[in-house]
Every structure is written in structure tokens, then in C-alpha cells.
Structure 1
Amino acid sequence: MTRRQTPMSAVDRSWLRMECPENPMMISAVLVFDQPIALKRLKRTLEERFLTFRRFRQRVVTEGDRTYWQDDPLFHIDNHIHVLALPGDGGKQELQTLTSDLTSTSLDFRRPLWQIHYIENYQGGCALLVRIHHCIADGISLVRVLLSLTDNSPEPRLSRVSTSSQSKAHAPQGLRQLASRALHNGQTAIDQAGLFLKSVRNEPGYPFKLATTAGNIAVDLLKLGLTPAEPDTCLKRPL
């Protein structure tokens, strides 16, 4: 049985390729709570809300010059949650130092690229340091993911969502999204064709002007492609 693979987009692949030991490409967030959070409850919340995004159950797999997201057959939430304690009184300075150290440390590429560090006994409560690789999503998207973990009331009612029912629920939704996208693209093509015909009626020389513009863009791209490499300067040194 083959594990599910999804090709990584070009933008996400570019973030992945920028990864280096001196510059880990990750997004970090620190969440501070007035009261401690039971670890069992934290894991349950993550399982029911965070892990509904399938990407957090997938690891990066490279085959030749292609990169994929692939379901991790050994996924377990305990591999991604780590309990830590700050030295001494555990104040803001110690939290900032710990955050700096962990943000400068690369994630384990054998597993899905995220970790959450539970920092206990911080100012009478606790803190969560969330580390997620940039290739998973951009900063704004990840903020929305983190906000999805929160509630409007202190004691929400949680219900376990099984993986099997989750997969079944996603299938019809995927078909609906595909049909909606096809309908949207078809309508866009019709609208663009109508605009083109209208432009031709109003200005008979419009096709020639359009071809000239396309030619100029092609020439600019050719010049850009043939531009020699930038000279080696002090601004191009490793970090």
C-alpha cells in the first residue's frame, strides 16, 4: 500500500531550499498563559483542531529533483511536544534566551516539520513555543491555524474526531472544491474572451498592440535570463 503523496508547490519548495544550518527557515510563536495547561488537554486540543490540517501529519520526501508531502507512517504527537522548564525564576529574559536558542535550531526532517515546547511554571502559568517550518505555510496562514485552537468560552466542549471519519468528510469536500474551481476557471475564460472581443470591436488594432506588448515582455525576459551573474561582494557571504 503506497502512502499518500502530494507534490510541494514551487513557493513552498523555495522556502525549503533556503534552509541551512545558519538560517533555519521556520516561523516561531510564543503563547503565554495565566494558568498552567494540563498536558493531556493540550494534546487532545491539538489532535482535534491542529492535526485536522493534514500537512501537520506529513513529512517532506525528495525523489530526484521533485519534492513531495507524504503521510508519516510513524506519526505520533508525542514526538512533537516537549516539556521544558526555565532556569532560576524563569522570567522573561530566560524565556527570550530559550526561544532564541530553539529558533536557531533546525527541525528534524525525518518527521513532520513542527514542534511545540511546553514551558511549565512560567510566571505562575505556562508558555508554548510553537515552531513550524516556513514551507508548510506563510506567517498569516499559521496565525489563523493557531487562532483555530482557541475558544470564546473558558470551557468549550471537545469531541474526538477519528481519522477515518475525517478522511471520509474530506473526500466530498475535495470534489466540491474541484468542481467549484473548474466552474470559476471556465467563467473567467468566458469573461476574458468577451473582454477581448469587445476590445477588438472598439479598437481594430488591439490584437497588434497586444502582440507588441507580449513581444516586449518576451524580450525583457530574455535579457533577464542572459544577464551575467552578480559579482562576488561582501553582501553575498554566508550568514
Structure 2
Amino acid sequence: MIMQQGKMLEPMSSIDSFWLSMDEPTNLMVITGLMEFDELLDYDAVCALLKVRLLCYNRFRQKVVWPTSTLGRPFWDEDRNFDIQNHVIRVALPSPRNQAALQRMISDLSIVPLDKNKPLWQLHIIENYGAGCVLFIRIHHAIADGIALIRLLLSMADVEPNLSFLREGESFEAGKARRIRKKGPLAPVTGPLNLFMRAAKTTLKTAARTTGVVYDEVMKTAAHPPHLARLIKLYGRICLESSTVLAKLALMPSDSKTSLKGKLGIRKSACWSSPIPLDSVKEIGLYFRCTINDVLMAAVAGALRDYLLGRGDDLEDAELRVAIPVNVRADSPEIELGNQFSLVLLSLPVNLDDPVRRLRETRKRMRTIKESADAFVGFQMMKVMGIPPEKITKRGADFFSSKFTGVLSNVPGPRQHLYFTDKKIKNMMFWVPRSGEVALGVSIISYAGSVTLGIATDRRVAPDPAKITEYFAREFDELLKLARMDVLQRAPTGRRAVTRR
């Protein structure tokens, strides 16, 4: 904290400042998501819940202020005129009140910049969606990354209808303690928060730890001297690989020129698929000996291939790179805001015409990424890029974003239905922001036994993203048919495929 103009201000971290500076009219750095309900939400109940479970985090009551010299990083300052009704807005969905109308409204809302004179978040309660409604959430990337924000949103939900937060005078901590006592599944260690995301199990995990984990490492070394040798080997390898990764990024050519790259406009298009059963995804993974993530990534590759072929692209020698967010936080039941993630690049094999070959190649490339130093180096790069003046930062970000065509994020969500206030969340979706001249965002989330794909595109570059969701479903059905067909053919002999995760 520092004193400026008689007020105590909290300096913004370099990496949060980096994402704040990435805002452009053609690509806002705003994370968006929705929760779908079959019933109407009560406006007052939503505001009451947010006051207890969201506003307890200072960041949602703070606005951004810049130093008087206009040099250096910005600060967080308490908004003394804060009013929750400026941030929670009721709107009605126009006719025909179906998914197409909802997608149009969300696409239009997503291009409206957040007011930087107020805390950088907003919720719309969109009513008249059938008999129910949708909660559309917009939060600036400077507040936190998508992983932290999804954890935060899930922490506001319950495993059964709950209006206890309406009790007058109940503090956040008292309400939290009572919810944990009443409903064990929401305890910090075993609740739905632990169901949404596990940190990537790579050799770089230790390098991303905070001081608390450094302490743990010291204690482990004291108790087990061989642990020191393992740490020296790990950190030594990271240092050696870092220079290799930086050289690879610097020398890497721009991504293949396809119809998904081009000059961006202001208007965007957002859509999502019909949910597919998670058990069917697992069935494919077990048969082909790959992870759920491998199956979904390969299905996206197949969908993008079909989309590009339909637009006349030559894919014989093409590969399409996507940036994948990777969590670098230490495992903890506590929700920590801010940006603590990295980006790694995956080349999707859109040049391969066989779905099984695409799946196997995707699995191979994902394993290579998990064993590399790319995530650690990428995180350090973003921290450093937030330090220079904004113009230099944007030049560096534009150079990096030229290396890929889209951003792709896959978030495992809770396995059971949750409730927001006393209403059941039917489904949920989110969309990743894009920087620079990146036109494509691909989001995948699992929830309550189903998986949904979300696509966000620049309308000038790709005006018809719904086709990608259609091709995704078709690609998935093809993989499932191939897996089941071979199982049926083997059944008379009693042979079964050996399955493993």
C-alpha cells in the first residue's frame, strides 16, 4: 500500500497491469460467462447473495486509478460511490426468446466496455428466456484470470436451494462457516471447487509456487536430504530449457494463414453447443487410451478442419496453433484473485483427414507440452511484459499473439447440479477473451455430467461460429461410433480393448 493524494492505494501487480493494458476496442479483456435457469431469479436475492459472497473480496468494490505522473503501474482504490445496482442489471430478451436470440444479445453485450470509473465487473439478469432466465457475468481480466473467477462463481453456489444469506446482519464468515457445517460437500477441501480444476501435473509445478510452498520445500529438504537433489535437478533443467523456449518463441513463424485470421472489427459473435454426455467422452477416452482433454481437443481440431475446408482453405500443410491457459497456482482451498496462469501453444493437426489419427497426434502433442518448460517461461514473460510502458507492452503482446490463431480453454466443472440462491443452475458456459489480432476463442466446460462447447469469434473474420459447434458434435459422434463399432466387432471373440487413463 502507498499514500497518494492523502489516500492509501494498493499497487496493481505487473501481470494484472499487463491484462489491463491489453484492452482494445476490437478485443476487450473481459471474461464472460453465463448460468442458465429454468426459473426466474429474484433481483433482490441476487444482490443480497453478491453482497455476502462477492463483495467480501475488496477487488469488487475497487476501481482503477492511475498515478498522477501517468508513469508506472495503476492502483486499486476503494470506490466511495459504489452501488451494487450499477453492476446488477435486469433486461428482457426480445422475441423469439430462444437460444438464437440469447446468443445475439450476449454477443452485443460482450462488446460494451466496462466503465473504468467503477469496479470492473457487471452482471445482467436476462429474463424471458423461455420460462426462465440467464445470469450473464462480465469481469475484467485485470481482476483475476478465468480459473480464479470460475472458482469464485462456484463458491457463490450451493448444493441445494439456499436463501440463508438473506438473514439480516449475518457476516460473510458466519454464513460461510454455517454453510460448511450444514453441507459437508461445500467444505473447502471436498467441495465443488475441487471438482472444477486440478493444477497441471508437470515438472514445472514447483517452480510456480509462492513463498508458502518454498517453506514446504525447505522443510522437506531438511527431513529428506534426497529431496534437495531432486529440486536442484528440477530447477537446473528449467533454467536450461528456458532459453530454449524463449528462442523457440522468438523464431517461431506466424501461424498458418487461414480464413480465421484477418483484420478485426468491433462486433463479435458468441454461441454454444448442445450439451453432450460426459460418460460418452470417457467412453472414447478409455477405448483410445487417452484423456478426456485429449478427446475434446481432437474433436475441436476436427471441427475447425471442417469449418476451414468449408470456407475454401487449403489445409494440406497447415497446422492451427491455439494458446491454452495453464494454472500455475499452488493447490489451496482458498480463492486467490489476480492472474496466475500461463499460456502454452498447441498445434492442432487440422491437416490430418482421419479422426483417429488426429486424436492420437493430439494426445502425443499434449503429452509433450506437459513435460516441457513452456508454461513456466510463459508466466514469467507475462509478468515482465507488464512492467514497461503500455505501448511497448502492446507491441510485445501483438508479436506473441501472431504466433497463434485462437485461445482454447477446457475447464472441468462440478459433477452435480448447483443452486444460485434457491434456483437450480441448469447449465453454465464461459468465453475466453482474446488479445491482439486473435479472432477465435474456444471454451469447453463440463457440468453435472455434460460437456458444452462455446465459440466466440470476430464477426468480420468468422461470422458463422455456430457451424463450428455443429462440426464439433459431428466429429464427436464419429469418434464415438468408431469406438463402439470396434467393440461390437470384437465382442464375439471375447476380446476387449485394454483401457487406461
Same fold (TM over 0.5): yes
Is the 8 Å Cα contact of residues 17 and 73 (structure 2) preserved in structure 1?
Answer: no
Counterpart CA distance in 2 for 1:54 and 1:77 is 13
Q: Deviations over 1:139-162 (max 9, x none)?
A: 111111111221122134223567
The alignment partner of 2:127 has SS state of: strand
- Residue of structure 1 equivalent to 2:155: 148
- Residue of structure 1 equivalent to 2:26: 22
1:35 aligns with 2:39: yes
- Residue of structure 2 equivalent to 1:117: 124
| Between 113-122 and 181-190, the greater mean CA deviation after superposition | 181-190
The alignment partner of 2:66 has SS state of: strand
1:94 aligns with 2:98: no
Counterpart CA distance in 1 for 2:21 and 2:125 is 29
Q: Deviations over 1:111-165 (max 9, x none)?
A: 00000011112110111110001111111111111112211221342235678x9
- Residue of structure 2 equivalent to 1:178: none
Change (3 A) 1:3 1:236: farther
Q: Name stretches of at least 5 consecutive residues in structure 1 with no aligned partner.
A: 167-180, 200-205
Change (3 A) 1:71 1:96: same
Question: How do 1:65-104 and structure 2 match up within 5 A?
Answer: 65-104=72-111
Larger Rg, first or second structure (1 or 2): 1
1:139 aligns with 2:146: yes
Q: CA deviation at 1:52?
A: 1.2
Q: Deviations over 1:19-39 (max 9, x none)?
A: 011111101011111111111
Is the 8 Å Cα contact of residues 118 and 127 (structure 1) preserved in structure 2?
Answer: yes
Change (3 A) 1:94 1:44: same
Counterpart CA distance in 1 for 2:213 and 2:85 is 42
Aligned counterpart in structure 1 of residue 135 of structure 2, from 128, 132, 135:
128
1:5 aligns with 2:9: yes
Counterpart CA distance in 2 for 1:101 and 1:150 is 27
Counterpart CA distance in 2 for 1:236 and 1:189 is 50
Q: Deviations over 1:55-84 (max 9, x none)?
A: 111111121212111111111101101111
The alignment partner of 2:48 has SS state of: helix
Is the 8 Å Cα contact of residues 123 and 137 (structure 2) preserved in structure 1?
Answer: yes
Counterpart CA distance in 1 for 2:7 and 2:168 is 24
Q: CA deviation at 1:3?
A: 4.2
Q: CA deviation at 1:5?
A: 2.0
Is the 8 Å Cα contact of residues 59 and 113 (structure 1) preserved in structure 2?
Answer: yes
Q: Deviations over 1:198-228 (max 9, x none)?
A: 77xxxxxx9xxx8xx97x899x59x97xx89
Aligned counterpart in structure 2 of residue 57 of structure 1, from 54, 57, 61:
61
Is the 8 Å Cα contact of residues 27 and 131 (structure 1) preserved in structure 2?
Answer: yes
- The aligned length equals 209
Aligned counterpart in structure 2 of residue 45 of structure 1, from 19, 42, 49:
49
TM-score, structure 1 length as denominator? 0.71
Change (3 A) 1:139 1:184: closer
The alignment partner of 2:164 has SS state of: coil
Change (3 A) 1:9 1:126: same
Is the 8 Å Cα contact of residues 48 and 161 (structure 1) preserved in structure 2?
Answer: no
Q: CA deviation at 1:89?
A: 2.8
Change (3 A) 1:161 1:3: farther
Is the 8 Å Cα contact of residues 26 and 132 (structure 1) preserved in structure 2?
Answer: yes
Counterpart CA distance in 2 for 1:134 and 1:123 is 31
The alignment partner of 2:34 has SS state of: strand
Counterpart CA distance in 2 for 1:17 and 1:182 is 27
- Residue of structure 1 equivalent to 2:181: none
Is the 8 Å Cα contact of residues 115 and 131 (structure 1) preserved in structure 2?
Answer: yes
**Counterpart residue type for residue 156 of structure 2:** L
Counterpart CA distance in 2 for 1:161 and 1:33 is 28
Q: CA deviation at 1:12?
A: 1.1
| Between 144-153 and 43-52, the greater mean CA deviation after superposition | 144-153
Is the 8 Å Cα contact of residues 29 and 141 (structure 2) preserved in structure 1?
Answer: yes
Change (3 A) 1:237 1:89: closer
Counterpart CA distance in 1 for 2:27 and 2:133 is 28
**Counterpart residue type for residue 107 of structure 1:** L
CA RMSD of aligned residues (A): 3.7
Q: Deviations over 1:154-177 (max 9, x none)?
A: 1342235678x98xxxxxxxxxxx
Change (3 A) 1:153 1:187: closer
**Counterpart residue type for residue 121 of structure 1:** N
Counterpart CA distance in 1 for 2:215 and 2:154 is 35
The alignment partner of 1:44 has SS state of: helix
- Residue of structure 1 equivalent to 2:282: none
- Residue of structure 2 equivalent to 1:107: 114
Counterpart CA distance in 1 for 2:118 and 2:112 is 15
Is the 8 Å Cα contact of residues 113 and 132 (structure 1) preserved in structure 2?
Answer: yes
Is the 8 Å Cα contact of residues 57 and 112 (structure 1) preserved in structure 2?
Answer: yes
Identical amino acids, percent of aligned pairs: 33
Counterpart CA distance in 2 for 1:4 and 1:77 is 23
**Counterpart residue type for residue 164 of structure 2:** R
The alignment partner of 1:41 has SS state of: helix
Change (3 A) 1:183 1:124: closer
